[in-house]
Amino acid sequence: MNDLSPDRDDRIANLKGLGCSRKRVEDARFTQGKGNYVDDIKMPGMLHGDFVRSPYAHARVVSINIDAAMALDGVVAVLTAKDLEPLGLHWMPTLAGDKQMVLADGKVLFQGQEVAYVVARDRYVAADAVELVEVDYEELPVIVDPFKALEPGATVLREDLEGQTSGAHGERRHPNHIFLWEEGDKAATEAVLDEAEVVAEETIYYHRTHPCPLETCGCVASMDKVNGKLTLYGTFQAPHVVRTVASLLSGIEEHNIRVVSPDIGGGFGNKVGVYPGYVCSIVASIVTGKPVKWVEDRMENLMATAFARDYWMKGRISATKEGKITGLHCHVTADHGAFDACADPTKFPAGFFHICTGSYDIPVAYVGVDGVYTNKAPGGVAYRCSFRVTEAAYFIERMIEVLAQELNMDAAELRRINFIRKDQFPYHSALGWEYDSGDYHTAWDKALTAVNYDGLRAEQAERVEAFKRGETRKLMGIGLSFFTEIVGAGPVKNCDILGMGMFDSCEIRIHPTGSATARLGTISQGQGHATTFAQILASEIGISADSITIEEGDTDTAPYGLGTYGSRSTPVAGAATALAGRKIRAKAQMIAAYLLEVHDNDVEFDVDRFVVKGAPERFKTMKEIAYAAYNQAIPGLEPGLEAVSYYDPPNMTYPFGAYICVMDLDVDTGQTEIRQVYALDDCGTRINPMVIEGQVHGGLTEAYAIAMGQEIAYDEMGNCKTGTLMDFFLPTAVETPHYTTDFTETPSPHHPIGAKGVGESPNVGGVPMFSNAVHDAFRAFGLRQSHMPHDHWRIWRIAEGLGLHG
């Protein structure tokens, strides 16, 4: 029997466990400027590195003269590919099975590419010395268009791969081709499309953009030659993976490498991969015997570190006249830039793009993705989605709108009649996924009701009439989006990075006085793990979250894990945390039974204690049990109270959501105003509603940026036109719309606490929502598809193209 006395509620509240909007414990230091970021790390004798970078997008490097740079007072070394070559480090493997130059080896392939690495007494001397390195280039023809890259006779970009007709992901059918990756039944899909009553066809471009975290990438490498230990501090989203890769590349045994991710000022996928700056800093520290710091500036971050998207998606979707979808065909031309440095699980060169059937019951589908080299920066990171899922969601949510237009049907209704039904879960998609749980109709109806959808449509129709009568120059768009995310990579059997299986871990130590320290294989970049993982544990082990310290990011102390990206922390490390907690509880139960002199099965857990069944006045609190674990000899039990769990998830989790916005748009200036944003998320069991709301606000703001203005653009010569925050749109509080958040709660059936990830969802659902609003505003005038970002100029041009300027 549970203790039903009034203080039970107090005891639950005191735990600050699952479902509680506990304030973020990390904010005390962040809001007081007391965070400890990479650039805050200062070590005795520390030197500073800086890169000479290519001004050209494609050129032969004829010669490099470092004499003048070396002569500058304070310069310690200048590294070029020649210096790295004897170590075998002038090229490095990428996460995608390609290789990438660490420093220019004979030629450069994108503007901003690393050519030489200067090491000096301080950052300023290093920057001056960079200017003194003389590089003689011979310009080569530039290709920035992936379609042109595949033309017969196109300039060969990767001469190092010349003659190689296959790569890490199969056949290459052109010197600038990386792979063709296919999923689904092509023949069956084409047969359905050929016979279909209605087919809508469209090319959807998701432009190149960049995660642009507030803190750029950087590291401090310190080789201690006395004890042979390499310490590497850095902005790493996956510190253990960095340790393993560093060991494999350098030959230093892994126990002699310590990788530490201190506080990280936002990651968003930008800090998953390995950059030349890390390799050069390690080499420089080994060569000089001093710690070496490298922190890139904003321009370097935008121009040279991992971009996101750049997917040309050609779609065909078929349906009956009534709007029941019968098939989906998609071909993607994926611009990967100069090296294939995508950060995806190894077996998935296009990430999880084949979730592109979205939230709909589509019987047959096919997707093919061609990866292509161009003279642009390498990368291809998630940027707030699980491996290409935002591309997939944008694609299907645009295709749905285009199909609705083709059918002359309401797009909300078209979605409703095609949603996967609640009783179909677990649902097997035509492209091979098993969706764990969902209740799309309930979420959609809740959203449509919340915004008064019918009322909005009526208002919009009136607005169109008023516009036609010349009474207003403003149109109104209703942006609809319903998305399904797929987060929580593993399972190990089909998800790995360079052979390292994607599980995650948690290790807990309960201290004698009843507080605890838990360490995880993940690493927060601002998400608030120190707050929320303590909440999972509090509910599992009955110790207040305030008495639990969460540590992450130091490979000398944390158990091995695959890191934080792809919203995998909650689905994988969160599960490990709950299960490690349950191991603690199992031992605590035996201790309690011993102390209470009853059989193990005669005690039961209640909030923060074990109680004798049927005798609620007889109990031992977790605090008492912890003390006894260390200080009392208990027959048959080892002293101590610790547990560790390595969790290999059986499946991913499939969070979903219904997003709707209302946008007013000025036909003459192209200016837009977001009147309302309603975002309903379902991430299963909610750990901390306040943190979730913060995640949704952040993700929606990034979605707004991407849809409405943010892009990495190049001119014909391969010059990056958006390398500063003057040109690259990063919304401030001024531009950011107001958001209303809501939720439904459909637990994951396979996760120990039923939780799914949420951090990426708002980007996945948000981008199509904003873009669909722009398209919807012009639907009455016949607009089918217009590429993002929808800045004022592009919107003005749509209006011009539709003849709306009179």
Task: Identify residue 525 by its one-letter amino acid code.
Answer: Q
760 included as an active-site residue = yes
Rounded to whole angstroms, the Cα distance separating 232 from 531 reads 26
280 included as an active-site residue = no
Residue of 384, 398, 519, 686 with catalytic role? 384
Pick 329 or 686: Cβ nearer ligand PCD: 686
Rounded to whole angstroms, the Cα distance separating 788 from 785 reads 10
The nearest distance, CB 436 to ligand PCD, in angstroms, is: 13
Pick 170 or 266: Cβ nearer ligand PCD: 266
Pick 316 or 751: Cβ nearer ligand PCD: 751
The nearest distance, CB 569 to ligand PCD, in angstroms, is: 3
The nearest distance, CB 418 to ligand PCD, in angstroms, is: 27
Smallest CA-to-CA distance from 767 within 481, 386, 453, 567 is with 481
Q: Are strands 292-295 and 308-319 parallel, antiparallel or unpaired?
A: unpaired
Residue of 100, 237, 405, 525 with catalytic role? 237
Q: Phi and psi dihedrals of 573, rounded to 5?
A: -65, -30
Pick 279 or 550: Cβ nearer ligand PCD: 550
Rounded to whole angstroms, the Cα distance separating 759 from 754 reads 16
The nearest distance, CB 663 to ligand PCD, in angstroms, is: 25
The nearest distance, CB 205 to ligand PCD, in angstroms, is: 20
The nearest distance, CB 130 to ligand PCD, in angstroms, is: 29
E-state strands within 447-520: 474-484, 496-497, 500-501, 504-510, 516-520
Pick 25 or 87: Cβ nearer ligand PCD: 25
Pick 524 or 672: Cβ nearer ligand PCD: 524
Rounded to whole angstroms, the Cα distance separating 77 from 244 reads 27
Radius of gyration of the chain (CA): 28
Count the Cβ atoms, other than its own, within 10 Å of residue 548. Answer: 23
Query: What 3-state class would DSSP assign to 754?
Result: coil
Pick 16 or 568: Cβ nearer ligand PCD: 568
| Residue 302 parent element (H or E) | helix 298-304
Rounded to whole angstroms, the Cα distance separating 222 from 226 reads 12
The nearest distance, CB 627 to ligand PCD, in angstroms, is: 30
Inter-residue contact 346 to 387 (CB < 8 Å): no
Return the axis-axis angle of helices 575-596 and 529-541, rounded to nearest 10°: 30
CA distances from 518 to 274, 489, 506, 511, 642 (A): 28, 22, 7, 11, 10
Task: Identify residue 472 by its one-letter amino acid code.
Answer: T
Q: Phi and psi dihedrals of 304, rounded to 5?
A: -120, -25
Residue of 202, 397, 485, 760 with catalytic role? 760
The nearest distance, CB 442 to ligand PCD, in angstroms, is: 18
Pick 89 or 683: Cβ nearer ligand PCD: 683
Overall size of the chain counted in residues: 806
Pick 79 or 343: Cβ nearer ligand PCD: 343
The nearest distance, CB 689 to ligand PCD, in angstroms, is: 7
- Contact residues toward ligand PCD (CB under 6 A) are 237, 266-269, 382-384, 525-529, 532, 564-570, 683-688, 691-692, 695, 698, 755-760
Structure tokens at 472: 């207003």
Burial class (CB in 10 A: 0-12, 13-18, 19+), 745: middle
Rounded to whole angstroms, the Cα distance separating 492 from 228 reads 33
Q: Looking at residue 487, what DSSP letter applies? A: B
Rounded to whole angstroms, the Cα distance separating 15 from 540 reads 10
Alpha helices in 651-784 (DSSP H): 689-708, 761-777
Catalytic residue positions, numbered? 237, 384-385, 760
